[in-house]
Structures are given as structure tokens and as C-alpha cells.
Structure 1
Amino acid sequence: MVELSRRGLLAALGGTAALLAAGEGSANAAARTFPATVTRNRSLAAGRHRVPVGTAPVTHLSISTNSGAIRTRTAGQWSEWRELATCPAGRDDLPAVTLLPVDPGVVEYELDLKHDSTVSEMDTVNGPALATLASPAPAVPLDGSALRRPYYSRAAWGADEKLRFTPEGVERWPVAYFPVQTLTVHHSAGSVGRDPAADVRAIYYDHSIVRDFGDIGYHLLIDPNGSVYEGRVSGSDWFPVFGPDLQGGKRPLMANAGHVVGYNAGNVGVCLLGHLSETSPSKAAIDSLVVVLAALSAICGLDPLGRTNYVNPISGSTKTVDTISGHRDWLATECPGNRFYPDLPSIRTRVSKLLPK
């Protein structure tokens, strides 16, 4: 196993100086604020519904089903119908939810629902300012070779940490730590809007509040520009994915998250933003994914070309999968997308080539 210090982990996943500066409230942090997410909910029966957006801005729709279709209208023009699709991430066996960005200028949307559903209309851009955004780190380096892509901590993409707590101040989903066994790749199953950080905030609100996880279900997310975003809270420090005791026995301890129902403990989840059955991931996103998976493999002593006999340390459930797997290798889902999934063998090979021999 490659021995990396806590500072070495930070370098592998984000760039030490920039993250420390952001965590300490450095003057280098951009003087930009992030907004609270504003929502309103609608209950709709099965069938077809046309819903005006109204005067309050809507940036994302969370629809409590993945059965049916949606289209949107700008001034006088309807889009094509598209099927509702989702990455069925989850802490428990909860119903699937579809999360979609709404393009600027949309004045109405139409849903063809097969089941009664709840629609949460979100605005992750125009709400009241909460706090100053931290600066992203400048690169994702590995073994001295830097991939020049920003890394956004939770403070840099605008996580409203109050969402993780009840009104009484009780943490909805306390962090638990388990040795890393495997890595799983996802897609978000929705198109990417003009501001990917706003999309990450929407996923966060959707997972934390709408689906009642208590936090975002993925450990790391990657946008089409190759920028990397911190997901699930892992502790009080600035280090993503792992707990305070990085060298927890034979394998580092990761914060338990919610991305593969029944197989989360010991399973690190990395999500590419986009609907990767409709489009292929960008080169920048793939390059960042390879570097992130290589860093995680090195830190955790994983063979990216190997197979893992996974055992859930909570339930005892077992599954044999590729050590770097896709979501569909665990459960019946289209995730991480029909166009992207066939690329996983070549990604494993690229990851392997980056690791020290």
C-alpha cells in the first residue's frame, strides 16, 4: 500500500495551500456569496399536467418518480419529450427521484406521470445570501504531475451546512467510518446547467431534504469542465472522503455515504455530472476521474484492475464486483449511463498506469 500522510491526501485531492487558505478564511477567498436554496412543493396525480413556472425563479425540479416524461416551454416553443431518469442513490430502499435543471427562460413545464408524484421546484441561485464562498483549489495533482482542474470544497461550492441538522440542532445523518473496500462510479442522470456548482447544491438539497438522507450521497462529484467537488461530509477538517484516522488499520477509513443502496459502507462513490446515456462524458471529466480514482486507489491500496469480494460491515450483504465498478454492477439501474459504462475498462487501465509500480 502506498503510504500517504494526511497532507499527502490533501495534495492528491485538492491542493494544500488553496484549501488551507479557504478553510482559514484567507483574503484569497473570492468575495462572492452563495444563496440559500428556496423551494416550493406540488402534489400531482398520475396523468398529464402543464405547470406554469410563475414569477419565482426555478433552477431545478425534483420529481418523486423515474416513471414518465417531461418537456419544457420557453417563449412559444416546447422542447422534445424526454424520459424521467435518475441515479437511484440512497441510504435506504427509497423510491427513485428525478432531478433536472431548468434552463433560463422556461415559463412552463409539462409532466406525463405514471404515478402520483411530488414535485419540488428549487431555486439554488437567487435565494438570500448565506455566507462567503471559499476559493477553489487550483489543481488535482498526483505523484508530481498536476492536472489543472479546480477542486471545490463544500465551502467553495456553497453547501448550506444547516441542512444537515434538524431545527433542534440534531445531525440528521451522523458520520460513521468504515475501511475502504471498493470504488463506484455514477452519473447524475441530468443535464448540466450553466453553473455546475448550482447543480451540486441542487443534488445536495435533493439528497439531504427531499430524499431525507441528511447529506449528499456521493463522496466526490466531477463536472464536464473536469472540476472536482467535495460531497459527503467526512469530518471537521478540510480533507474529503476520509475520517480523522486516515490509516485505519489495513485500509483508510471513509465516511459512510449513500450512493448504492445496501452496499454503501466501505464503498467510495464518485459521480460525473450529466446524463451519460444521452451524451458521452467530456475528455476533461474523464481525465479528472482517472486522476481521482488513481489517488483513491493509491491511498487505499486498491488494485484498479482487480476484483473485490465486498462484504457490508453493517448488514453482512456480499457482492463480487470490479474494484472500480459502475453503479449498475451493484443494482438494476442504467447508471452510470449507456454511453459511459463501456468506457470503464479503459479507465481502469489508465488508472493502473498512474500508480507507482
Structure 2
Amino acid sequence: MENSERDFLDRRTLLRSAALTGIALGGAALGMGTASAATAPTIYGCSAWGARPPADPLTVLPHKAVRILIHHTDTPNSTDYSQAHAFALARSIQNHHMDDNHWSDTGQHFTNTRGGIVMEGRHNSLSTLRGGTEIVRAAHCPGQNDIAIGIENEGNYMATQPPAKLWNSLVTLCAYVCDQYSISPNAIQGHRDYVATDCPGDVLYRMLPQLRRDVASHLGG
């Protein structure tokens, strides 16, 4: 991974424009069945939303993730909840991260939209999550890129609550990640817990205790 990917990610320089039963691989949702406690959500893979190939080889690390970090994209709170909008958002984020930040690929592992559509961010995030024993090195938070799953949530949540569709898909995704990697819901944290940043927004950050409770409930306790 290039050195720039380890640098502080200033959320205010993030993109300002453009914005439950299978895993999308190869451009289509493929049924995954159920995990031991959490049902696999629908996650659209990189090929589904038209991702560019990584600029450099990505590193897959031979260990599990130990926590989840919650982010917001700091993009407009769009009311377009369509799949077309979600895919366009994923492409624009990747373009920003690769062309402006000069990273190998999208920085985060997964992107969750205001319409409740979940997509793979960095290549290999989906296959390693499904395997549950490895993690692809990301670029969403210094010091955490090798051990934490980064989830970007579309929008700005400094003063606004996330819509129900986003919240519900976030709970389901976090529950599946926790189940796959044997992560406690108590290990769901915010970006600002590790870096001096507004991310994931004051409102969403205050909702993290509820997120942990909802994920625990989703996992059956």
C-alpha cells in the first residue's frame, strides 16, 4: 500500500458531489443462505457497480478484523434512493480516492447508501468477508486499516439523523460482519474514536450505542 493511504484522511476533502438475502458477485446478487446467527445481506460487488481495477496490487492479510469503524461520506443527503444513484456514488467515491488522493482503490471496505443499498468498496472486501478469516488492507483510518472494517454511510450526519433504510441496512451489515469475524457488537466504533475528525457526524456518532444494541439483538442477544 502506498504511503499516502496511511496518511490522515481529512473528511472535509471527501467527495462533495454526487452523492436481505444474498451477496452480489460478478454483477448479480447470489444467494448466500444464512450465517450461524446473521443472515447475509445483499451486497453488490465491485463489478456490479462498474468499479475501475485497482491502480496497484492490494494486500490481503491473513487474520480477522477485530472491529468495525463507522463513517459518513460527507456528501449531500440525497433523496434519490435508486440503485442507479448508489452505483454512481460508488464510482464517484472511487474516482475521488484514486484520482485525487492517489490511493490504489476505494478507501473503505463497504458503502451503505441512504436508500439502504450496500456495496463493496475496496476490491476483495466481499470475498474476504465471506471467508471470515482474512481482511483486505484498506485506507479509511490510519492505524486501523489492517484490522478494522470500514463502512461509509452516504450523507452528512452532523445535524441530521440517517433515514430508516440506511439504518436498517447498516444494522444488518454490521451483524453479518460481526458474525463472520466473531466481533462483539461492542467493538463497533466511530472514525473519530481514532482520528481527530467530525466523522461520522455528531448525530450518527451519538447513535452508535443504539447501533450496538440493535446489532446484538439482530444476532440474538
TM-score, with length taken from structure 2:
0.80
- Which residue pairs with 1:91 in the alignment? 5
- Which residue pairs with 1:290 in the alignment? 171
1:100 offset after TM fit, Å?
1.2
1:260 offset after TM fit, Å?
0.5
Structure having the higher helix fraction is: 2
Contact 1:243 1:255 in 2 (8 A): no
Larger Rg: 1
1:144 offset after TM fit, Å?
8.3
Matches within 5 A, 1:303-318: 303-305=184-186
How many residues are aligned here? 204
1:102 offset after TM fit, Å?
5.6
The letter of the residue matching 2:6 is D
What whole-Å deviation, never above 9, does each CA across 1:145-166 have from its counterpart, x for those lacking one?
A: 869x7532111111122xx23x
SS at the partner of 2:208?
helix
1:175 offset after TM fit, Å?
1.9
Q: Which among 178, 184, 191 is matched to residue 76 of structure 2?
A: 191
Structure having the higher strand fraction is: 1
Q: Which runs of 5+ in 1 are unaligned?
A: 1-89, 104-132, 166-171, 306-322
Q: Which among 206, 211, 220 is matched to residue 347 of structure 1?
A: 211
Matches within 5 A, 1:142-181: 150-161=42-53, 164-165=54-55, 172-177=56-61, 178-181=63-66
Structure 1 CA distance, aligned partners of 2:14 and 2:218?
Answer: 35
1:296 offset after TM fit, Å?
1.0
1:303 offset after TM fit, Å?
1.5
What whole-Å deviation, never above 9, does each CA across 1:57-76 have from its counterpart, x for those lacking one?
A: xxxxxxxxxxxxxxxxxxxx
Contact 1:304 1:352 in 2 (8 A): yes
Structure 2 CA distance, aligned partners of 1:293 and 1:213?
Answer: 25
Structure 2 CA distance, aligned partners of 1:271 and 1:351?
Answer: 17
Structure 2 CA distance, aligned partners of 1:181 and 1:221?
Answer: 19
Structure 2 CA distance, aligned partners of 1:258 and 1:327?
Answer: 12
Q: 1:224 to 1:141 in 2, by over 3 A?
A: farther
- Which residue pairs with 2:22 in the alignment? none
Q: 1:223 to 1:140 in 2, by over 3 A?
A: farther
Q: Which runs of 5+ in 2 are unaligned?
A: 20-25
- Which residue pairs with 1:207 in the alignment? 97
